[in-house]
Amino acid sequence: MPPPFLAGAAASHHRRGVRHFFTGPLIKTELLVTWLEKHGIPATTVAVDPSLPEDGDLDREMHVHVPESDYDRAWQLFFADRQDEL
What confidence score (pLDDT) does residue 85 get? Answer: 54
> What percentage of the chain has pLDDT greater than the value 90?
64
Indicate the pTM of the whole model.
Answer: 0.74
User: Distance between CA 69 and CA 5 in Å, rounded?
Assistant: 21
pLDDT tens digits for 58-74?
A: 999 999 999 999 999 99
pLDDT tens digits for 20-38?
A: 999 999 999 999 999 999 9
What confidence score (pLDDT) does residue 12 get? Answer: 46
Q: Report DSSP letters for 60-81, one per residue.
A: -EEEEEEEGGGHHHHHIIIIIH
pLDDT band (50, 70, 90) for residue 16? confident
Domains delineated in the chain: 18-50+57-83 (3.30.70)
